[in-house]
Amino acid sequence: MAFSLLLVDDSNVARRYVRKEMLSILNYEDIAITEGSNGKEAYDFCTANKFDLVVIDLTMPVMTGYEALECLKKSGNTVKAIVLSADIQPGVEEMVKASGAIGYLKKPFNREQMLKLLEESGYNVKD
């Protein structure tokens, strides 16, 4: 069974970058990647499918990543999510973790920080 990864960012360029990096970091034989461009799509994808990991931006149209995480949490969905965001305001990391995210990294993310976060969260990563 494939490792299922959902990438959500309103920037196609950002999604391509994250896709490339995650494929080079995750150590799974088969990785199925789904992409979305806003929080509403993230919410809809997560309620219709089971993902092993969601990587989501915060600032997006239609529904923010934060709102999507809050809606998922309220619905009882316990998907593991990592937030990637350029939003560096005080308290953002605490807010996203309170909404259920397993981690928060600033854009553009540092590869070593992502490796460490994934490893600490129990994911198989490449050495």
Residue 71 lies in a domain: yes
pTM exceeding 0.85 = yes
Residue 127 lies in a domain: no
Q: What is the pLDDT of residue 32?
A: 96
Tokens of 100: 């259920």
Residue 65 lies in a domain: yes
**CATH code where residue 113 lies:** 3.40.50.2300
pLDDT at residue 89 is higher than 80: no
Residue 44 lies in a domain: yes
Give the residue numbers spanning the domain of 116: 3-120
Residue 125 lies in a domain: no
pLDDT at residue 54 is higher than 80: yes
Kindly report the average pLDDT of the chain as a whole number: 92
Q: What is the mean pLDDT of residues 62-71?
A: 92
Residue 126 lies in a domain: no
3-state secondary structure the chain: CCEEEEEECCCHHHHHHHHHHHHHHECCCCEEEEEECCHHHHHHHHHHCCCCEEEECCCCCCCCHHHHHHHHHHCCCCCCEEEEECCCCCCHHHHHHHCCCCEEEECCCCHHHHHHHHHHCCCCECC
* Number of domains making up the chain: 1
Q: What is the pLDDT of residue 95?
A: 84
